[in-house]
Amino acid sequence: MLASKGRFEMNIGFAEWLLMASDPEVVQILPIDPSVIIALNELPERFHGDPADRMIVATAKANRLPLMTMDASIRRSRIIEVV
């Protein structure tokens, strides 16, 4: 969606990019397990209207990991450590 809106430029196809971006030597994929769902449920209702951003924050919180983001709502919330 970001690429189609011109907010993210991709020089390769999406499928190729996704395979490269999710390579285990590049990132560790974290599961959506019960601890993430609990953290998601504990987020304040007023926090962020974007369900994907809520899931990202809950995943970081459940795994006790800092989050790297430029999202102003997440940064202001102080719900999670942002680097």
Q: What is the mean pLDDT of residues 14-38?
A: 93
> For residue 40, what pLDDT is reported?
96
- Tracing tokens 């560790």 back to the chain, one arrives at 28
Phi, psi for 18 (deg, rounded to 5): -60, -40
Q: Give residue 22's region: left, alpha or beta (phi > 0; psi -120 to 50).
A: alpha
Strands (E), 1-83: none
- Residue 7 pLDDT greater than 90, yes or no: no
For residues 74 and 29, give the distance between their C-alpha atoms in angstroms, rounded to a whole number: 21
Q: What is the mean pLDDT of residues 57-76?
A: 94
What count of other Cβ atoms lies within 10 Å of the Cβ of residue 76?
A: 10
> For residue 20, what pLDDT is reported?
93
> For residue 6, what pLDDT is reported?
76
- Out of 1-10, 35-44, 54-63, pick the least confident: 1-10
Domain boundaries, the chain: 28-77
